[in-house]
Amino acid sequence: MAIDIFWRIPTHGEPSSLRNKLHHRGDWSQQEGDHIVHRGLAGGGSDGFNSLDYIAEVARAAEISGFHGGLIPSFPMTDEPWAISSFLARETSTFRFMIAFQPGFLNPVTAARMTASLQRASNGRALFNIITGGGGPAQLWWGDVAPHDDRYARTTEFLDVLRGLWKGGSYSHHGKFYQLENAALPAQLLGQEFPEIYFSGSSDAALASASQHADFYLSWLEPFDQLKEKFDKVKEKTDKLGRKVKCAVRVDIVARATEEEAWREVRRGFENLSDADKERYARFAQQTGDSVGANRQRNNTPKTLDNYRDFILHPNIWSGFSLLRGGQTNGIVGSYEQVAERLDDLVKLGADAFILASTPHLEEAYRVGEEVLPLVQGHGARNSVLRAVG
Ligand SMILES: Cc1cc2nc3c(=O)[nH]c(=O)nc-3n(C[C@H](O)[C@H](O)[C@H](O)COP(=O)(O)O)c2cc1C
C-alpha cells in the first residue's frame, strides 16, 4: 500500500531549532520586520532575502527529499495559503500544496474559480485541508459568529456547491447558506482534477461532514487507541453512505540517529523555555473554544512544567510539543528507526497518509527525507530509485 507523506510549510516563520530559539533567516518575527538582515553584509544591511524566499527553500527541500507536498496552514499569524500556493506553484515542479481553509470565509463560486485556475496553472497539484474553526475568540477574529454545528453544516453545503460547479454547465443551488442561480465556471477552466480533500475535525458534526466529502479524514496525533476509535467511526459512517475514506495523521517529530540524541534535543528545548513560552502554555491549557479536537489534545497534557519526562504518554510519544513551538501537543521522539516504527504502527491502525513537521523545517526536511521516509513501510519502495552518483 502506498503511503502519502507530506511536510508542513512554516508560513509563520520559525526559530533556528527547538532547543535554542535564535533568530535565523526563516524567522519573520524579528524587530527588523519581514526582511532579514544578513549580518555578513558590509554594514549589516538587508540583502533582500525574506521569509517567502525561505518558504520556497523549504518546499523545494521537501520536493527533493521525497515528500508528496506540503500543508500550508491558515491561522491568524500565518501568510495566506492561496497566495502562497500560487507562489509555490512557480517555485516547484512536483510539490503538491495542501491549502488549509475555512470554507465559510469564501464565496463558493469564487473558491471554485480560484481552485480551477490554480489547478490549471500547476498541473493539478492543489489539494485541500478543510478546516472548520475552533470557536471562541479565534473564530471571532475572523468575524465568524456561527455556532459549532452550523459551521460544519456550512462546510458540507459549501463542498456540495464546489462539486456541483466543478461538473460544468449551468448550476443552481438553493440551500440554507448558499443561493446560486445559473452559476458556471468559465469553459477554459473546466476539466481540471477536483482537489483531493483532507478533512480535519474531531466532533460528531465534523465526522458527519467528513463522511460525505473527505478523501482523507485527518487528525492530530492522539493516543493510539483513541485515534483508532476515531478512524473506525469515520470509516463506518462513510461506508454507510457507500463511499470510502482514507485516514491521515498530522504529527510533529524529533528524529535523530539515536533515541538519546532525540530526547536530548527535547530536554534542551524544555530547559530553555522562556517565561513567555510558559505563559503561552498556561494560556493554551486554559483556552476556551468549542473545538472538540483541541480539547482532546489538552486533556492529555500535564498542567505543571516540572520535568519534560512528565509529558511522555507512551514510548516515543511526547505530549509537550505545544510548549516548544505552539500548535498541537503530541508528537513522536526517537531514533530514525523508532520514528518509522511508530509511523508504521499508525499505518497498522488505519493511517494511509501523514503530514510531518520538525523544526527547523528546511534542514529537517532533508534529514527526515533521507533517514526516516525510506524506513516507513509503503513509502520506502518509492525512494529506492535514488542512487548515489560519483
Ligand atoms: C490536522 C489539523 C489541522 C488543522 N489546521 C488548522 C489550520 O490551519 N487553521 C485553523 O484555524 N484550524 C486548524 N485546525 C483546527 C480546525 O479548524 C478546527 O478548529 C478543529 O478541528 C475543531 O473542530 P472539532 O470541534 O470538530 O474538533 C486543524 C485541525 C486539525 C485536526
Rounded CA separation 368/336 (Å): 8
Q: How confident is the model at residue 132 (pLDDT cuts 50, 70, 90)?
A: very high
Inter-residue contact 250 to 219 (CB < 8 Å): yes
- In the beta sheet, which residues pair with residue 318? 312, 331
Q: How far is the CA of 130 from the centre of ligand 1 (A)?
A: 8
Structural domains in the chain plus CATH codes: 4-380 (3.20.20.30)
Q: How far is the CA of 256 from the centre of ligand 1 (A)?
A: 29
Rounded CA separation 106/2 (Å): 33
List the helix and strand counts (H, then E) for the chain: 14, 15
Q: How far is the CA of 165 from the centre of ligand 1 (A)?
A: 26
Classify residue 54 by its DSSP letter.
H
pLDDT of residue 385: 41
Task: Kindly state the average pLDDT of the residues 343-351.
Answer: 97
Rounded CA separation 227/220 (Å): 9
pLDDT at 383 over 70: no
Pocket test for ligand 1, best of 99, 131, 226 (most atoms within 8 A of CB): 131
- Of 47, 152, 167, nearest to 104 by C-alpha is 152
Q: How many CA atoms lie within 13 A of 92 on its CB side?
A: 31
Q: How confident is the model at residue 386 (pLDDT cuts 50, 70, 90)?
A: very low
Q: Whose CA is nearest to atom 19 of ligand 1?
A: 134
**361 φ/ψ angles, rounded to the nearest 5 degrees:** -60, -30
Grid cell digits, residue 12: 509563520
Inter-residue contact 6 to 21 (CB < 8 Å): no
Rounded CA separation 299/151 (Å): 24
Residues lining ligand 1, CB < 6 A?
73-75, 100, 131-134, 200-203, 206, 218-220, 250, 291-293
pLDDT tens digits along 221-260:
999 999 999 999 999 999 999 999 999 999 999 999 999 9
- pTM of the prediction? 0.92
Grid cell digits, residue 221: 496525533
pLDDT at 351 over 90: yes
Q: Collapse the DSSP code of 297 into the 3-class scheme (helix H, G, I; strand E, B; otherwise coil) and give the result.
A: helix
Rounded CA separation 362/327 (Å): 19
Q: How confident is the model at residue 103 (pLDDT cuts 50, 70, 90)?
A: very high
- Of 162, 151, 148, 149, nearest to 104 by C-alpha is 151
| Ligand 1 atom with least separation from CA of 100 | 8
Rounded CA separation 236/133 (Å): 24
Q: How many CA atoms lie within 13 A of 217 on its CB side?
A: 30
- Of 189, 179, 194, 200, nearest to 294 by C-alpha is 200
pLDDT at 16 over 80: no
Which DSSP helix (H) or strand (E) runs through 118? helix 108-122
DSSP per-residue letters across 216-249: EEEEE---HHHHHHHHHHHHHHHHHTT---EEEE
Query: 169: how many CB neighbours lie within 10 A of its CB?
Result: 10
Cis peptide before 315 (omega within 30 of 0): no
pLDDT at 283 over 80: no
